[in-house]
Structure 1
Amino acid sequence: MSATARRPWPMPWKMALGFGLGLLLGLAVHVSGADAGWVRAITDYATTPLSRLFLNLIFMLIVPLLFSALVMGIAEMGDIRALGRIGWKTLAYTVVLSGVAVLLGLVLVNVLEPGAGVDPALARELLAQNVERSREIVASVDTQPRGMDMLLSIVPSNVVQAASENASILALMFFAVMFGVGMVLTPGEKVATLKRGIEGLFEISMTLIGLVIRLAPYAVFCFMFNLAAIFGFDLLLRLGAYVGVVVLALALHMFVTYSVAVRLAGRSPLAFFRGIQEAAVMAFSTASSNATLPTALQVADRIGLPPKVSRFVLTVGATANQNGTALFEGVTVIFLAQFFGVELSLAQQFMVMMVCILGGIGTAGVPSGSLPVVALICAMVGVDPIGIGLILGVNHFLDMCRTTLNVVGDLTLATLVAHGEPEGPGPEPLPSRQGDGRA
């Protein structure tokens, strides 16, 4: 190969190209007639199956990756006291960052009032257009655990069943944490073989996901083509004020709150955001924290976060540190209350804030995983849950935005937790790690 051979495009550029082409072609199709038979044929038999195939391939590997990464992250600490310190720091920073996110969203939605003065006829029309999908989501509210049941559901009675259900991913993670703690407490010579096996499972999962990620630019094209061809800008423009408030709140939290947090951890915010851009683009493209986890783990290695911290914090954060989701839920509930003319007291809004923080921790890290939680909170404060039909047309775009904040928040959280942690000698590298060529 000659020295002048062109270097391959970086993956973020490829995904950005797929995003742009999909959006432009989708808009062109929408303008020319989105209801045409050939358009439906393309979306039904080409773009939608391809995009689903990509996500299915990712989710197929998420369970072994989550389990092995979390177990190894705990086992490599080698000291149960270190697990306690990192675990408590992770929990504390998660609550603080989620609380700031929800509070920021509630302040903006109350000051700007995007739901005030909406045309009632338009509201009824949008509800009618999305009523079936809304009812499906609202119906799932009854199956969501509440109160003490929500707490008890974290401890799985059947770990295999928990692994097979995305909604029970926290239960799987609890089992992985307990498994890792058991490995730490068990004499090393008795679990050395098992530890190497789990390490091998982690490496195999990362290798396979690396192959799947090569399909990401094509999947991104399909995602954006479907979104633009079916919805266009019509619904986005009608709900522009709501979208603007959500995006503004997400942007402020990302570039102000996270910059302050990274600076407190002794790092340059500019260098931090430059280093994590691949994970941010992947999160925006897939709208899934779980699907972005492999990329986030690789990015954490490149920006110099200790693996014993990043594996634990990022795998937990993929489900439990959903800052963007918590913020989105709070803004959406207040927006719908304004839309339907429901006055919420400060006490009710405080309750909304608390539930959103918990909802951000307990929401599955999959596309649109927060919609049932929004419906549940609406019912709690006297807002008709069917109103979520108003936001379905713009939900995919906002899902991509809030997932980006979730993933950046996970990396910010890992940076905060890693700050001040002693490096120590760490575990001896396993043979499978040597010479793997990863940056």
Structure 2
Amino acid sequence: MTSTPSAGGMPLHTKMLIGFVIGTVAGLAANFYVADAGWLDSLITYVTDPVGQVFLRLLFMLVIPLVFSALVLGVVEIGDPASLGRIGLKTLLWILAVTTMAVLIGLLAVNLFQPGRGIDPEVAQSLLAASSDRATEIAGAREGVSGIQILLNIVPRNPVDAAARGDLIAVMFFALMFGIAATALRTPGTRSFVAAVQGVYDICLKLIGWVIALAPYAVAALLFSITARLGMDVLVQLARFVGTVIAALGFHFFIVIPILLWVFGRMSPLTFFRGAQPALLTAFSTSSSSATLPTTLKVTEENLGVPRRVARFVCTLGATANMNGTALFEGITVLFLAQFFGVELGMGQQVLILLLCILGGVGAAGVPGGSLPVIAMILAMFGIPPEGIGLILGVDRLLDMCRTVVNIGGDMAGSVVIGRSEPADVAGVDMDAALADVDVAKG
């Protein structure tokens, strides 16, 4: 996520922080002084809840075209034989492997620390009862579904019906198959179709930009509704959520990625972090993989000694498809809100969430709030009130900075590993010699 100044010059994340503070303080005051007042319930029912619902409906409106177009384009870019087919396959394997590890870490962390537990069960049930009827219907529909049925439901009988029902994993499967077929055909009609899909994707990004401009008001409204009902307890849960996300991101970034670098890239983690520092600092300050891309390319080639041919392909593709930090965040967010609202998820459902987050990490848009539609749809699929997104938006700036660092670090680590696996005559550069030159240059 990147924050651009509005017409008045105030960055979006600042507005969101102001909305978070206003909504939280007003809600806490209402909970403390007038919790039993009839007009407060009317205010929540007829003012703040509808404002939040409009924002959520706008996100739901965009999720199907966004995910479909993003995944089709991602597969076409990865599988293009003219675009380094062998390196493309290695990049795809890297993205899937590292993203799977990241989501597993997130799921383990949220099950270990239980950041969403602690709310009074009666309060949680009342919040769940007040949520959208659609989420409740979906939750009931998923009861008693066997593992075999879940696997079969991945393949939709009717993709249009699956999209209408919000069956996100079926839509993702259809999009992946569509992308694979588009990659294999290479006809003028196929190229025109891919160009049209690119247009759909660009339009979705523009619409998301407009929707996210409403986020500060939605944050204030959603936070007021939740804090007016829960009081101070909600802030305790929020602090535990932030701590769980940062701990999981830190484990993935400082433990998992260095091990992969050491084993498969034959590079010292200290050498990597020292060389990657400019790009990581840029990622932390901008919170945008796309905005960091020029620095990422420069650092990967010059400081890490990755062949230009490999670096440009892996880092450019990774800026839109290799969102392992984002996927980790999505998994923790979904399970945290499930715990918060008292929605019990079995192991099979958590595995399904893992798959959705892996694909969602590839299909997340590289724009402000690009992962929100995916999170909102996953929440609705499992009967978790999507209104809980208001909690997350209030603290998203810090978490966005942290997960963008993980995303960029994963791109650069992937470039090193894939560059090392390429023959010297194909890569065009001896990586050992290049790294030696870098060390000499740095003194």
Whole-Å separation in 2 of the counterparts to 1:157 and 1:373 = 21
Match among 244, 247, 255 for residue 252 of structure 1: 247
Q: Which residue in the other structure is 1:308 paired with?
A: 317
TM-score (norm 1): 0.64
- Secondary structure at the aligned position of 1:207 is classed as helix
Shift of 1:11: 1.0
Are the aligned partners of 1:70 and 1:173 in contact in 2 as well (CA < 8 Å)? yes
Are 1:97 and 2:91 an aligned pair?
A: no
Whole-Å separation in 2 of the counterparts to 1:367 and 1:319 = 14
Shift of 1:269: 7.1
Unaligned ranges ≥5, structure 1? 1-5, 116-121, 280-298, 338-350, 376-390, 425-439
Whole-Å separation in 2 of the counterparts to 1:142 and 1:409 = 31
Amino acid at match of 2:292: I
Are the aligned partners of 1:73 and 1:309 in contact in 2 as well (CA < 8 Å)? no
Deviations 1:366-398, CA, capped at 9 Å, x for gaps: 3495598699xxxxxxxxxxxxxxx99999747
Deviations 1:354-373, CA, capped at 9 Å, x for gaps: 87454333479434955986
The within-5 A match list for 1:125-136 is: 136=136
Q: Which residue in the other structure is 1:204 paired with?
A: 203
Whole-Å separation in 1 of the counterparts to 2:334 and 2:215 = 27
Shift of 1:88: 2.4
Q: Which residue in the other structure is 1:72 paired with?
A: 73
Are the aligned partners of 2:249 and 2:328 in contact in 1 as well (CA < 8 Å)? no
Amino acid at match of 2:155: V
Are 1:366 and 2:375 an aligned pair?
A: yes
When structure 1 is superposed on structure 2, of 220-229 and 75-84 the one drifting more is 75-84
Shift of 1:51: 1.4
Are the aligned partners of 1:21 and 1:221 in contact in 2 as well (CA < 8 Å)? yes
Is the alpha carbon distance of 1:301 and 1:188 closer, same or farther for their aligned partners in structure 2, counting shifts above 3 Å?
A: farther
The within-5 A match list for 1:206-245 is: 206-233=205-232, 235-236=233-234
Q: Which residue in the other structure is 2:151 paired with?
A: 151
Match among 82, 86, 92 for residue 87 of structure 1: 92
Whole-Å separation in 2 of the counterparts to 1:151 and 1:57 = 30
Whole-Å separation in 1 of the counterparts to 2:221 and 2:354 = 28
Whole-Å separation in 2 of the counterparts to 1:400 and 1:20 = 8
Are 1:161 and 2:169 an aligned pair?
A: no
- Secondary structure at the aligned position of 1:366 is classed as helix
Shift of 1:196: 1.8
Amino acid at match of 1:215: L
Amino acid at match of 1:162: A
Whole-Å separation in 1 of the counterparts to 2:211 and 2:128 = 36
Equivalent pairs counted in the alignment come to 356
TM-score (norm 2): 0.63
Deviations 1:8-29, CA, capped at 9 Å, x for gaps: 0111111111111111122222
Are 1:19 and 2:9 an aligned pair?
A: no
Whole-Å separation in 2 of the counterparts to 1:162 and 1:251 = 35
Whole-Å separation in 2 of the counterparts to 1:231 and 1:193 = 53
Are the aligned partners of 2:27 and 2:225 in contact in 1 as well (CA < 8 Å)? yes
Deviations 1:178-231, CA, capped at 9 Å, x for gaps: 111112111253422222212211212212222222212111111111112222
Whole-Å separation in 1 of the counterparts to 2:158 and 2:188 = 29
Deviations 1:65-107, CA, capped at 9 Å, x for gaps: 2222221222233236555433322222233223333444555
Are the aligned partners of 2:326 and 2:404 in contact in 1 as well (CA < 8 Å)? yes
Whole-Å separation in 2 of the counterparts to 1:269 and 1:177 = 35
Are the aligned partners of 2:19 and 2:220 in contact in 1 as well (CA < 8 Å)? yes
Amino acid at match of 2:99: T
Amino acid at match of 2:91: I
Amino acid at match of 1:301: S
- Secondary structure at the aligned position of 1:74 is classed as helix
Whole-Å separation in 1 of the counterparts to 2:375 and 2:96 = 21
Is the alpha carbon distance of 1:317 and 1:174 closer, same or farther for their aligned partners in structure 2, counting shifts above 3 Å?
A: farther
- Secondary structure at the aligned position of 1:76 is classed as helix
Q: Which residue in the other structure is 1:412 paired with?
A: 406
Are the aligned partners of 1:51 and 1:220 in contact in 2 as well (CA < 8 Å)? yes
Match among 319, 332, 355 for residue 324 of structure 1: 332
Q: Which residue in the other structure is 2:179 paired with?
A: 180
The within-5 A match list for 1:280-359 is: 299-304=288-293, 306-314=315-323, 322-325=330-333, 328=336, 356-359=350-353
Amino acid at match of 1:38: W
The within-5 A match list for 1:271-286 is: 272=280, 275=283
Whole-Å separation in 1 of the counterparts to 2:343 and 2:219 = 30
Are the aligned partners of 1:140 and 1:372 in contact in 2 as well (CA < 8 Å)? no
Unaligned ranges ≥5, structure 2? 1-6, 262-268, 297-314, 361-373, 427-443
Deviations 1:131-169, CA, capped at 9 Å, x for gaps: 857995896264474312212211111111122233x11
The share of aligned pairs that are identical, in percent, is 24
- For the aligned residue pairs, the C-alpha RMSD in angstroms reads 4.8
- Secondary structure at the aligned position of 2:375 is classed as coil
Is the alpha carbon distance of 1:128 and 1:185 closer, same or farther for their aligned partners in structure 2, counting shifts above 3 Å?
A: closer
Is the alpha carbon distance of 1:146 and 1:103 closer, same or farther for their aligned partners in structure 2, counting shifts above 3 Å?
A: same
